[in-house]
Structure 1
Amino acid sequence: MKKLKTALLSYGMSGKVFHAPFLEMHPGFELTGSWERSKKLIQQDYPSVKSYSSLEELLADDADLIIVNTPVDTHYEYAKKVLEAGKHALVEKAFTTTVAEAEQLDILAKQKGLKLAVFQNRRWDSDLKTVKQVLDQNLLGEVVESEFRFDRYNPNLSPKAWKEDSNPGAGILMDLGPHLIDQAVYLFGFPEAVFADIRKLRENSRVDDDFSIVLYYPDKRVKLHAGFFVREGVPAYVVHGRKGSFLKQRGDTQEDVLKTGQKPNLDDWGTEPEDKAGFLHTEHDGELFRKNIPTQQGNYYSLFDGLYKAITEDTQEPVTAEDGIRVMKIIEAAQQSSKEKRVIALK
């Protein structure tokens, strides 16, 4: 199996938790190192890799794939340099800060014959995979309304200054918004129009920290919400169809387990507790029934495996630049909608 030499552009939480463990696990990747600006930590976990002192040093090395996992407002600049250096790129969400930036990266990658993917890992969350299974099996009939939420209770500002600085890549719309928007488009396609209400609710917040978005489709509406003032959670996924409803609380275990330092596997990884099962109330063959639906197994390994095949077999990326562009179009429309207090049509 061909080894793809892969480097990270940072080794903070995302590099340590979401990327390095899966690169180590997959037989097709070889982690070569990370750009580390101040703290030199990667060699504590992976002694044989390099700690690069600059982006130029990293790009001059022989890596095949670069993971752009730096703050959002740097994604365009760094991804552009990566592609110009002839390297494939996996870019964290949000893909960029504007649609124009996303489109320019897509054009550049195609011109260079390189793979450009977006790290929308939560398509492979156990809860979202279960929702998709219910839809694929047509257990609800034609969907008329859905609501996806990513709620927390945390009224305090983040100690990470870059998360609270007012820049184009900061705020909850750029942080959690891409997850919810990508999941909605992944399941239901690109909407016709958007309405949004984006707010700053925490005391002294300089960035948006609460949003409600409505995506309009010809036959349904999809509501998305994220915020920091939900102490008592409600189901994270609610889908209503003409025959029934499915409710599922957020239950994916991967992030919490990865933060403890546990390594992923292909056996029981991403398995939710049974009490997190979703609830289905629907009709089948004229009979009503109410029952729990076992949760699908989640595993971010599938994203990395799909990216490996895209590069080595020239197949489509697991999450394409076009997917990232669509998410950015909805984000820009949501920002305009909230500012102007009106529905924005999408093109």
Structure 2
Amino acid sequence: MPATVNVALLGYGLAGRVFHAPLVSATAGMRLHTVVSRNPDAVSARHPQARVLPHPEPAFADPQVDLVVVATPNHSHAPLALAALAAGKHVVVDKPFALDAGQAQEMIAAAARTGRMLSVFHNRRWDADFLALRALVQSGALGEVVELHSHFDRFRPQVPDRWRDREGPGSGLWYDLGPHLVDQALQLFGQPLAVHADLGRQRQGASAVDWFHVCLRYRRLRVLLHAGSLVPAHGLRFAAHGTGGSWIKYGLDPQEDALRAGAVPGGPDWGADPWPGTLVQVDSTGTVREALAGSPHGDYPAYYAQLRDALLDGAPAPVSAHDALLTMQVIDAGLASAGQRREVGLPGGD
């Protein structure tokens, strides 16, 4: 592997334009070498150094390309990842990793056969609020956590004309936001025993899921994942309750908005969260103490920095393909639960 990782980015829609291209470009030791897009003018306006191709096959065949990033519509993730792996490339797949766990297992097997790294872009592990929550859980500040509410609500009353909001494989909010919220829960608490999901269509004219409420059942703990598209007052992000206290957090991590606005990732103020959470603790005498609890800075650039180190120095991947498979098993269970209107168990749950 050369000292610089040459990256071919497949897709220049929301994921490619807002997240992957800026983060790759801002990472020392990585180079945005190629972008596959049908809109070359948009790519060249912001990344004039990158070669633009209309199709991915020349990028797969190019010996200078080390890493392929798949940021295309969800139904194409697995086929493109498999083709890139077969061509001997390392691969990052934007979430969701695949359409189901079966595809995920096929991709993992292909990576093992070819000896290539395979990862998924679960960037919200580096949200400021999630970093704060993970630190609180690990420190024991909340005692044993018995209830977690994880919300990602928005107010988007009009159904946009885009593939994410049309009925079809991999469309809808459960595939869009579900992998982020599921991955965060698994990072904190491991695989649940069972999933009970309600997936809905609430907006006028909606053909794809635009609302979900999902309960992950552990032995004592319950994790409630929720997202809606008709929530004008969409402030709550996390509410964690434990035997020793609670942590309540409003407001979303600021990094996506910064990237959408064209900000360059990195710098001392990058990822600073303007909305500190509130920590409420109860001591052995029953005394309640309440204080604002600031978050560490969010750090999306850490994903590609760790990926670079994995490729150049043999460090662990920032998100393993095995973790992506576990997330897809929960996504599958949620779809089955909603379709059958019952709880669906998971193998190997905590």
Shorter-chain TM range is: over 0.9
Match of 1:66 in 2: 68
Q: Paired residue for 2:94, among 92, 95, 106? A: 92
Alpha-carbon distance in 1 for matches of 2:243, 2:11: 47
Q: What is the aligned partner in structure 1 of residue 37 from structure 2?
A: 36
Secondary structure of 2:84's partner?
Answer: helix
Cα separation, 2, equivalents of 1:153 and 1:25: 31
In structure 1, the partner of 2:290 is 290
> Which residue of 1 is the match for residue 276 of structure 2?
277
Query: 1:315: how far off?
Result: 2.6
**More deviation, 286-295/100-109:** 286-295
Higher mean C-alpha displacement, 52-61 vs 192-201: 52-61
Q: TM-score, normalised by structure 1?
A: 0.96
- 1:196-215 equivalences under 5 Å are 196-215=197-216
Determine the structure 2 residue equivalent to 1:316: 316
Q: Distance in 1 between matches of 2:141 and 2:294?
A: 14
Report how far residue 294 of structure 1 moved. Answer: 1.0
Find the counterpart in structure 2 of residue 343 from structure 1: 343
Q: Aligned equivalents of 1:231 and 1:56: distance in 2?
A: 44
Partner of 1:237: 238
Q: Is the Cα–Cα contact under 8 Å of residues 245 and 281 in structure 2 kept in the other structure?
A: yes
Question: Residues 185-221 of structure 1: CA distance to partner in whole angstroms, max 9, x if unpaired?
Answer: 1111110100001111111211111111000111211
State the 1:44 CA deviation.
1.5
**Structure 2 stretches lacking a partner, 5+ long:** none
Instruction: State whether structure 2 residue 255 is matched by structure 1 residue 254.
Output: yes
The amino acid that maps onto 1:128 is: F
Instruction: Please state whether the residue corresponding to 2:83 is helix, strand or coil.
Output: helix
Measured in 2, the distance between the counterparts of 1:250 and 1:135 equals 20
What secondary structure does 2:268 align onto?
A: coil
CA contact (8 A) 2:43 2:52 kept: yes
Would the aligned equivalents of 1:99 and 1:325 in 2 still touch at CA under 8 Å?
yes
8 Å contact kept, 2:126–2:300: yes
AA of the residue aligned to 1:306? Q
Q: CA deviation at 1:165?
A: 2.4
Structure 1 position 285, deviation (Å): 6.0
Give 1:313's aligned amino acid.
D
Distance across 1 between alignment mates of 2:339 and 2:57: 40
Structure 2 partner of 1:76? 78
Deviation at 1:156, TM superposition (A): 1.0
Distance 2:146 2:54 in 1: 52
**AA of the residue aligned to 1:28:** G
Superimposed CA distance per residue, residues 120-142 of structure 1 (whole angstroms, 9 cap, x where no aligned partner): 00110111111111112211101
Give the match for residue 189 of structure 1: 190
- The Cα of 1:314 is off from its aligned counterpart by 2.1
User: TM-score normalised to the size of structure 2?
Assistant: 0.95
- Whichever residue aligns with residue 217 of structure 2, its letter is Y
* 1:237/1:250 contact within 8 Å kept: no
> Unaligned stretches of 5+ in structure 1?
none
Q: Percent identity?
A: 35
Secondary structure of the structure 2 residue equivalent to 1:47 = coil
> Where do 1:74-153 residues align within 5 Å?
74-153=76-155
Aligned equivalents of 2:14, 2:167: Cα separation in 1: 21
| Counterpart residue type for residue 283 of structure 1 | V
| 1:224, distance to aligned residue in structure 2 (A) | 0.4
Does residue 218 (structure 1) correspond to residue 219 (structure 2)? The answer is: yes
Range moving further from structure 2, 109-118 or 245-254: 245-254
CA distance in 2, matches of 1:5, 1:90: 13
Judge conservation of contact 1:40–1:51 (CA < 8 Å) in 2: no
